[in-house]
Chains A and B, each alone.
Chain A
Amino acid sequence: MKKYLLLIVIGLILLASSLALSQEDPLAYYKQAKINWRAFEGTQLTIGLNKHPFTESLRPLLPHFEELTGIKVAYVILPEEEFFEKLLIDLSSGGGIFDVYMTSPMFEWRYQYAGWIEDLNQFWNNPELTDQEWYDRDDFYEKPLRANMWDGTIGGGLGQGRWNAIPVMAEFFCQVYREDLREKWGLTVPTNYPDLLTTLTKAAEMGKKETPQVYGVANRGIKSWSTVHSGYFTAFSTYGQKDINPDLTAAINTPEAKGITQIWVDILQKAGPPGWPNYTWYDAKQNYAAGRFYEITDCDFFAATYENPAQSVVAGKNGYALPAAAPDGNITSNMWTWALGMSSFSKYKEAAWLFLLWATAPQTMLDGTLIHDNFNPTRKSVWENPAVIEKTMKWGTEPGQYRKIVDDMYAMYGDIRWTPNPDVTTVGDIWAEALHEAYEGKKPVEQALEDAAAKINEWMTKWKK
């Protein structure tokens, strides 16, 4: 009996040992690369991060990078507007606080022109620093990858020339609505903008009878380019409109532009959140997740929050639909992609490059997406990973509804709609003020857009050859 007991104990010890040995080393994947990860051991990098779901997905993984490389990582996290302003101060002063920072094409155009962002091609093409085969750059979706490349041509040149940053997530703008309320109130999913106005107005009226009140549509509204960027620019470009003409004059005051802007302002006035001009995307997302809105016409990737019962009271109750179409059937969406770029003032550029490689590697992005909800991933292998498919397949009124929208956005509808120029965020700020003036009734839509166009023209003068 004792002998059997001893055998069982020894067996259990051996089993435990073998299990421990077979536990996958979290760094094994990275060690496959022909990269000397320890080359800059002892360096400290400072990363500038926006308060964003991507940031929350990256933070828990940072110890892996530190263990892999011996490089210490410090980071600063700020809300979006404050983050960009702090970053601008650091870059314009040449302070070099940040070695790596979160960025996006709209900002890179200014940074590139001013000489504040490093061209990543030099590191990519250095075999001492990069194992191109292991990294597999072709795994990235083309749109977010090329959006972070620019040859410096004001008014064009996107996807060519310098490689400014590596995309870590992409977002598009679609309709997210409460399926339970849609059925209850007898509404349909709008397929064009006049219908969207009618539906959301009705939803706002029906919502008044609910306790607590349910509002019509959530959408960001603060005095910033970002207000223009989301649902509004999606509608605007769907109607075939542009921000800037090829001759670098404002294009926001065409009759068609005024028409769709009027519809958008009507939607906000009749069904939007009270106090819309002070509404941030944080407000829009949280209040929709709290069940206070029928629909939200903002980022698609907020779905990860909406469908998480720990963060949302509307999990499992949402429908996802493409943006409404123009009269000619055209559908487009604007695209935003958060990316990681390197400061030209960094004293540790090679170490910063290793961080960029690690942070955007397939395994890191998979862990960030699967475990920590970084959506939408910019690598095909991550989006098509069976576990990610299983996780996202349930989002929507029917299996795969959300996934199909993201697939269609990558394939057909989504792209950067802004015209490349260093002052694009200034153009956006001016434009946002026009939306405020129209929404507040201070000026008719036509006048607000004409006045904004005049200001934009004045601003763009210096870029004309």
Chain B
Amino acid sequence: MINPFGIKESFWSRRKAFLLFLPAFIITVGILVPFGYSVVMSFTDFNLTSGTSNFIGFGNYLKMTKDSEFWNSLKVTLLFTLGAVIFEVGIGFVAAYLLNLGLLGQKLWRTLFLLPVMLPPTVAAIMWKLMMAPIQGVFNYLLQLVGLPVSEWLGSSSTALISVILIDAYVFIPFVGMIFLAGIQNLPKEPYEAAAVDGVSSWFTFRKLTIPLLKPVILIVLLFRIMDCLKHFDIIYAATKGGPASATMTLSVQSYYQSFRWTNMGYSFAHLVVLWAIVYVLSYLLVEKWKKAVREVHGG
């Protein structure tokens, strides 16, 4: 018998499992080889300018422990992640709730709400950079118009981090909101009907029904956004290049400086390996929590 590929069945049967596994294998190798290479290079003094590539053991990692710039980058990365995630999850949830109320022109609102997520993050950053420009930007113009004090936005250490968080929120709130909306629309009706019969308040229903039932969705959103924010590069680099001073210098941006501005590749790889470890640990913890939440909601 001949299979659709024109190969004899006996031959096909023996190799079917291997052929089905092959694409996943190629992709896995394609991911692991560069990753492995990066880990190996993090143990060297690889420098593109001087042409060195000597094995130095944990030299880069030891250097990082004494490097104030590394610790600052770690702090900024965590602050950025915390700020962006709180902002995006909070507003995304509220937006999803509002979009689920069946307001007038709901389809239009949903379309408008989705627009920012269609923009490349770098384009969004440049767009916001122009709007935030202290002299000619529209934000300060509007603030002046209503008699409020103007801001230096991306041009000051005290406001730069919150400004890049705002840009990130603008781009990713729709993504978060849509996941929440899907979660809200899939909530079972029966518990709510029972709550209505018992005459409990909306607030009580929200706390005791909606949040627990949405816990798996919330954890999935947290997983996506925390992973993404920890690795974040494009918006920050396009908006501030890690400045002013080192106010927005995340680990990714610091790594970029070390490699593509200063050609210090070994040290840059060490930064990225540390970043990967942080992302991996946090992701693992969140996935475990998500599994537990799914079991609580659906049983099993």
Contact = CB atoms under 8 A, between A and B. Distances in A.
Interface stretch (B86-94, B209-217, B235-243): B235-243
Contacts of A85: 260-261
Contact of A423 (B49, B51, B150, B243): B49
The DSSP consensus for interface residues of chain B is: loop
Contacts, number: 95
B200 interface: no
A395 to B, nearest CB: 25
Contact of B155 (A89, A92, A274): A274
Contact of B51 (A88, A114, A429, A436): A114
B290 interface: no
Looking at A81, A222, A223, A425, the one whose CB has the most chain B CB atoms below 10 A away is: A223
A283 B136 CA distance: 10
A429 B134 contact: no
Given A223-B240, A287-B136, A436 B154 contact: no
Contacts of A273: 134-135
A51 to B, nearest CB: 13
Interface string A276-293: 111100010001001010
B241 A222 contact: yes
A115 to B, nearest CB: 8
Contacts of A114: 48-49, 51, 263
A185 interface: no
Contacts of A266: none
A386 interface: no
Interface string A231-257: 000000000000000000000000000
A436 B244 contact: yes
Interface string B30-69: 0000000000000000011111100000000000000000
Nearest to B246: A433
A422 interface: yes
Given A274-B155, A275-B133, A436-B244, A92 B262 contact: no
Given A433-B246, A436-B244, A440-B244, A275 B261 contact: no
B100 interface: no
Contacts of A442: 157, 245
Contacts of B246: 433
Contacts of B157: 277, 436, 440, 442
B159 to A, nearest CB: 9
B70 interface: no
A283 B281 CA distance: 42
B48 A278 contact: no
B29 to A, nearest CB: 21
Given A88-B263, A275-B155, A429-B261, A292 B48 contact: no
B262 A277 contact: no
A2 to B, nearest CB: 68
Given A224-B241, A273-B135, A275-B156, A426 B262 contact: yes
A232 to B, nearest CB: 16
A75 interface: no
A258 interface: no
A209 interface: no
A436 B49 contact: no
B244 A223 contact: yes
Contacts of A221: 155
A277 B244 contact: yes
A153 to B, nearest CB: 16
Interface in B124-167: 129, 133-136, 150, 152-157, 160
A112 to B, nearest CB: 10
Q: How large is the interface on B (under 10, 10 to 19, 20 to 34, 35 or more residues)?
A: 20 to 34
Nearest to B126: A79
A464 interface: no
Contacts of A425: 261-262
A364 B231 CA distance: 47
Given A92-B48, A287-B135, A287-B136, A277 B263 contact: no
A124 B240 CA distance: 43
Interface in A69-105: 81, 85, 88-89, 92
Nearest to A85: B260
A275 B245 contact: no
Interface string A429-457: 10001001101101000000000000000
Nearest to A443: B245
Contacts of B129: 278
Contacts of A437: 245
Interface string B205-249: 000000000000000000000000000000000001111111000
A440 B244 CA distance: 8
A278 B154 contact: yes
B276 interface: no
B192 interface: no
Contacts of B240: 223, 278
B257 interface: yes
Interface in B255-275: 257, 260-263
Contact of B244 (A278, A287, A290, A423): A278
A279 B243 contact: no
B220 to A, nearest CB: 35
A215 interface: yes
Nearest to A439: B244
A278 B157 CA distance: 10
B161 to A, nearest CB: 13
Interface of A: 81, 85, 88-89, 92, 110, 113-115, 215, 221-224, 273-279, 283, 287, 290, 292, 422-423, 425-426, 429, 433, 436-437, 439-440, 442, 462
19 contacts: A88-B263, A114-B48, A114-B49, A114-B263, A115-B51, A222-B243, A223-B244, A274-B134, A275-B152, A275-B153, A275-B155, A277-B156, A278-B155, A423-B262, A429-B261, A433-B245, A436-B245, A440-B156, A440-B245
